[in-house]
Structure 1
Amino acid sequence: MKTFNDFKSYNAYIGLSEPLDNDIDVGYYDPPNMLLKSDPVMVDFYRISIKINVKNNSVPNSAPITAVFFNSPNLAATSGWDVEPTYTGMYLQLSKKIIEENRFLFKTYLDYGLHEALHLTEEEVQEISAVFQLMVKYYESDKKYFAVLLSYVNVLISLVEAFYNRQFSTNPKEYNPIITGFQQSLKDYYNQPVKQLPNVQYFADKLGLTANYLGDIVKHFTQKSALENIHDFVIKKAKELLEQNTQMNATEVAYELGFEYPNYFSKFFKKQVGLSPKEYRSQFTAKL
């Protein structure tokens, strides 16, 4: 597998223009002069790629699509690619350094490449194309306009976020198995002895997704983050134990739920419920 650590070597490999900067690279595709069929590759930076009417020859009888694709560090294109030279499009490449220094500008879907492309409507293509024109203008200008270029990168990212929300809403049935799988995995987690609290990464691994992708899907369809959903479930289980297992004290309940420190459980419970575990049990018992 070929691995590329910088824009210059990657661009030379696939036939793109030499980058003007080591941390950000913006440009247009020129398929007739590009590598159309590749061996497996991996890049050690972030790519946002907009391809218009691209036809993937590796998928039999596939129709051309217009979509945004993502690549992120350590994400391998294990089968490479094989496309027709008839598409058009644009690309934005970002170093890990610039992502970390400007993390507030960037969203979680930079690792969506593992899961799905963002399919674009004609109107959305026009909007993204207009932003790209401005990005290219300031990319090719003096370095003093770097902050302006970054601001347009932020606009592009915000547009992509809005378009993803549209895609999530357009076909909710496609995402129902993810929500159902997440909720079932939560239930299954406590059907076995546990040694720690569940976290988002655990359920993402169970479902074969990245944590960011799972979190965004869960947030879109439940209006709560994946972590908030986990916390709600932990509180539900805590209440059940306090109500039904009166022989268990708060410390035992804490360990049963996977808390390492019982005092953290008490603080967590009070923050979520407004009562300490002992107060909650007393209030529940008084109602019987």
Structure 2
Amino acid sequence: MTGSASRPRAVLIAGPTASGKSALALSLAERAGGVVINADSMQVYADLRVLTARPTVEEEARAPHRLYGHVDGAADYSVAHWLEDARRVLAEAGGEGRLPILIGGTGLYFKALTQGLSPMPAIPPEVRERVRALDLDAPALHARLASVDPETAARLRPSDTQRLMRALEVFEATGRPLARWQAERTEPPVLPAEEAVRIFLATDRTALRTRIATRFHVMMEEGAMEEARALLARNLPADRTVLKAHGMPWFARHLAGGITLDEAIEGAILDTRHYAKRQDTWFRHQLKGWSAMTVEEAAGLLATMA
């Protein structure tokens, strides 16, 4: 880490959903004159403030926030797009003398930021699940890949389901064909890991399960269903990422008359719990060199950075 112990170039806070990242970052931003920068792939979308647990208008008024709700739900948005946006807002923060505080649950964003875009990028669990849920046979998978990455498709056997899925996962996660990744060298990182304080929030799983359920019920009271209804009314293509936000598939089934509201809420909470568990595992295996600590331990560390 460059700079003094009390003022690093940036602070990165990763962790599962509902682990307390936002409150921690906001407190630091207020105290240290920082700017909170989003590193969550769902919170970039303008359509779902409540359902993706974006900061409230009141919270955004307490400190500058960047890369929240700046992308329309109809858009294709990848880690490559986010990395360019992050590069810009980091430069702006530096010019303003503000401490950048990047927070989120999308590990691939943090990995790309601190290590550069790898020719063989790690695939976030939610992307892998989305591709594997396509329920297509091998020829259909091959045809889908050929439409977005014809060079890779030409090199793969139409019956090689696993490799076809892997190539599709790379495209879904990054917005770039696998063939292009394999042809290019890794770019230097936008923010070298050693220049930032890197915190991973380790959580008690039982307590996290409770917080996830509580937060989802609060979301319902704050208008999550109304957001879902408005988004579905846009009739976006079924492959739009925003439609995969936790709760959206269940709300879509409910609004179509397939399940009750209680069943939709129960399913959404269960999905979110499973996702949080996968996030925890991904962070522990992929983000080497990060300090795992509780929210209380992290707050104590960050208190020295005013």
Give the TM bin, normalised by the shorter chain. Answer: under 0.3
| Structure with larger Rg | 1
Q: Which has the higher contact order (CA 8 A, sep 6+)?
A: 2
Q: TM-score, normalised by structure 2?
A: 0.23
Q: TM-score, normalised by structure 1?
A: 0.25
> Between Structure 1 and Structure 2, which shows a larger proportion of strand residues?
1
